[in-house]
Structure 1
């Protein structure tokens, strides 16, 4: 009987399959490009986000209410106003912009310490891996000082190239598994 109820819940309880997701990161990291790629809507050059983009994305019968927030300094100050009811965070890093890696680390530490986000899963997309001078995931992990196992939340650092559409599907799949309380194979 328990298996039947579990399957029934997964198939028909809509509220359990709808999650608010924030896409955060510094300006020019590729947040909007990632959102457009995951929706299959990429047309031409991406335009910098002023304020936010809000889209519904459905993957694997899970509805994601995605908020792509601008990463400009003035806008980062208001990110906290979007934290209410957040199910997950996708933090995008421009891995070719080594001059701002300390600023990225500061923003990550802010998110990791934010009381409203203490148990929220974080997918870190190490973007622009298609560019030869991009910092690799191991070096990024060291630069950020993040050890995924030390946190009380699921954290995954995923290599990605938004332009090449690489790493996005596996990153989103991981996040959906976590949000849906499925076993993670990683």
Structure 2
């Protein structure tokens, strides 16, 4: 009976949708912690990513093929090799790293200007909101100079705290809605 149900679901059931997403940002922004938290796998202290971390994330009937790429300066040069067939980008910013906000802005602008990524939705996770001195969304928006209409694509800035698992579900839900054309007008 189980085999029949499985075949029936494949023939007549709702097919899983698959999307490749890139999780990018400077080193120590919280990319790996976010990926582990969204999957409920966080145990212990996260280890900095050297190279990449590749995992599947399932939400509803959607499978996200997530590539968490290292944000170390020398490794950012390889990001472009992962752009092919990308459906969405999650750009993580450490909102307590005031010294490197200009570098984060430059990297985000690089992504926004990349022809291969035109019309790709971008979720900006304003991470580390659990720390009192973290810049909020309005300050981050000002520092980044991000205006969705300028780039003709969907961009959302979502406050988050990877450590406290806050804002992650809302951000990922927004991205899934955009990717599956279920978007709402926020």
**TM (normalized to structure 2)?**
0.92
Matches within 5 A, 1:48-63: 48-63=48-63
> What CA distance in whole angstroms lies between the structure 1 residues aligned with 2:35 and 2:127?
13
Structure-2 residue corresponding to 1:21: 21
Structure-2 residue corresponding to 1:183: 183
Q: Which runs of 5+ in 2 are unaligned?
A: 1-11
Structure-2 residue corresponding to 1:3: none
> What CA distance in whole angstroms lies between the structure 1 residues aligned with 2:169 and 2:62?
14
> What CA distance in whole angstroms lies between the structure 2 residues aligned with 1:110 and 1:185?
26
RMSD, aligned α-carbons: 1.2
In the TM superposition, residue 184 of structure 1 has moved relative to its aligned partner by 1.3
In the TM superposition, residue 130 of structure 1 has moved relative to its aligned partner by 0.4
- 1:116-174: per-residue Cα shift (whole Å, max 9, x none)? 00110000000000000101110000000011232211100000000000000000000
Residues 11 and 92 of structure 1, relative CA distance in 2, 3 Å threshold: farther
Matches within 5 A, 1:107-186: 107-186=107-186
> What CA distance in whole angstroms lies between the structure 2 residues aligned with 1:41 and 1:170?
18
> What CA distance in whole angstroms lies between the structure 2 residues aligned with 1:105 and 1:98?
11
- Ranges of 4+ aligned residues in structure 1 off by more than 6 Å: none
Structure-1 residue corresponding to 2:9: none
Aligned residue pairs: how many?
175
**TM (normalized to structure 1)?**
0.92
1:12 has 2:14 as partner? yes
- Local SS of the residue matching 1:88: strand
Q: Which runs of 5+ in 1 are unaligned?
A: 1-9
> What CA distance in whole angstroms lies between the structure 1 residues aligned with 2:146 and 2:183?
22
